[in-house]
Each structure stands twice: as structure tokens, then as C-alpha cells.
Structure 1
Amino acid sequence: MNPSFVFRSGALITATGISFGAFGSHGLRALKPPMPETKINSWNIASNYLIYNGLALLAISFHPGLLGASRKYRLGAGLIMAGAAVFSGSIFGLVAARDKFRWLGPITPLGGVSMIAGYIILAL
């Protein structure tokens, strides 16, 4: 995993978060039957997490440790990418399917743990 990949991933994750956030603010409210406000809030939280983690990956891509052979930065960035995708993706799936895929619920915390682990690895 090189800095260019981390940078591009961060940019795509951020763009996805912004796009899904806009849809959550406008499109979900226009659905028939209307989406409950609690579900819209969950969608927006998932969008925000994508934006935060995408911006973090953009910053991480400039760290000199990522340029070398530092396994720590590659592992941390990979855990953040995977965690953001699993955390937000499972929430998007739950909301979009109107809870028809309840099995996604227990997966959400795994994404959160992955993100946290990635940041802790970077901090060590």
C-alpha cells in the first residue's frame, strides 16, 4: 500500500461520504413511505464517519512513514479503510433495506473496532 493508493482511497471515501450525506439529507426524506428521522440520523452518522476517515487518510498519505517500508502505517491505513467501509456500509445497508438485513447490525461494531485499531496502531 503506497501513499498514492492511500491518498486516492481517502479522496474516494470522502467523496462517497459527501454524496451519501447529500442523499441522506434530501433523498431519504422524499421516500414514500417516509423514512423515520432516527434512520436518517443513522445514515448521516455513517456519512460523517466516511468523511472524517477519508480526510484522515488524505493526511496519513503524506506521513513519511508511509513512504518507507513501515508496516505500521500500511496496517493502520488499511484498518481505517476497511473499518470505515464496514461501519458505514453496514449502517447504509440497514437503513436502505429498512432493517430487512438485521444481520448487518452486529457487523457495524466490527468496523468501529477496526477504525479504532488503525488509529491506535498509528499512535504507537
Structure 2
Amino acid sequence: MSTNQQASERTPLLPATAPTDSSSSSNSKPPPSMSSEVFWKIGAVYGATAVAFGAFGAHGLKKVITEPARLAGWSTAAQYQLIHAAVLLVVPNHPVAASLFTAGMTLFSGSIYALTLDPARFRFLGPVTPLGGLCLIAGWMALAFGKSGGAPRLPRF
């Protein structure tokens, strides 16, 4: 209290904006939303599977597929999946971009994996690959021009 104010019986001892829980502080961030938790998990799972698929492509797939172009396609799919999975871990609170990245990874990388394994059987997925690529591009554009604006808050570990 300042020296100009006098305390009375009606003067509150604690400010009205004081946290009610002793563990909370003014620097704490709000709890994550359900969608951000889901996107965080999707990013982690997609990251793990990208590493596994990349290793499979580099070691196991070479025994079955000898065409360099098909092996390169598998590698590209794993690389794009890993990059965008990492992005999901950084921007899980941007639902539009996160949704587009998730759809893009699924369509782009998923169709390339299937086409690499059996091009004749999964020929119908050929047009899906560019749609996935457009989703990835749109995800980046959503980050640039989306409503959340500014750099995201990085998660604390």
C-alpha cells in the first residue's frame, strides 16, 4: 500500500488478480488444447515412422526393389514426412497448418510408399501425391498468413 492510502477493514489483503493456486505464476502458459496435444502426438508418431521407413528403405527395401527411381521416391517420402513431423512438434497450436501438414504427410508420403511397393496395384494413388504436396504447401502458407500470427511459443521440456 502506498503511504497516501490507509488500510481499513474492507481493504483486501490479497489483490483480486492473485492466483488461487500456489503453483501457478504469471509466466505460466495456459494448458495445451486437446487439438495441440493430438497434433503433438501425431508429429511424434509420424517422426518415428519416418525414421523407421527411411531405415527400411535404405536397408531392407534394396533387397526387393532394384530400380533406383523407386528407391529415391521412397527416400523422398521419408524425408518429407520427417521434416513435416518435426514442424508439427513446433506448431501444434496452429490447427489449420497442423491439419494441412498431417493431411499432406498422409497423402504425399503415404501414396509414394504404396506406389514404391507395388506400382501396378496402387496406380490409382498417382493423383493423390500432388494433392498431398498441395496440402504441405498450404500448411506453410497457413503459417505465414494465418490468424495466430507471429512466431509460435516453443514447447518447454
Q: Same fold (TM over 0.5)?
A: yes
> Counterpart of 1:5 in structure 2: which amino acid?
V
For residues 55-114 of structure 1, the C-alpha deviation after alignment (integer angstroms, 9 at most, x for no partner) is 0000112xxxx2xxxxxx211110110111100000001011134321111110000001
Q: Give 1:106's aligned residue.
A: 127
* Partners of 1:119 and 1:94 in 2: CA distance: 25
**Are 2:43 and 1:22 aligned?**
no
Decide which of 60, 68, 80 is 1:37's aligned counterpart: 68
* Partners of 2:128 and 2:121 in 1: CA distance: 14
> Counterpart of 2:68 in structure 1: which amino acid?
E
| Superposition CA RMSD, Å | 1.2
**Are 2:86 and 1:47 aligned?**
no
Q: Give 1:57's aligned residue.
A: 88
**Percent of paired sites with the same residue:** 38
Shift of 1:35: 2.8
Q: Give 1:69's aligned residue.
A: none
Q: Give 2:112's aligned residue.
A: 91
Deviates more, 1:113-122 or 1:91-100: 91-100
> Counterpart of 2:79 in structure 1: which amino acid?
N
TM-score by length of 2: 0.68
* Partners of 1:35 and 1:94 in 2: CA distance: 14
* Partners of 2:122 and 2:138 in 1: CA distance: 26
More helix by share: 1
Q: Give 1:12's aligned residue.
A: 45
Give unmatched runs, 5+ long, in structure 2: 1-33, 146-157
> Counterpart of 1:26 in structure 2: which amino acid?
H
Q: Give 1:70's aligned residue.
A: none
* Partners of 2:107 and 2:137 in 1: CA distance: 13
Give unmatched runs, 5+ long, in structure 1: 67-72
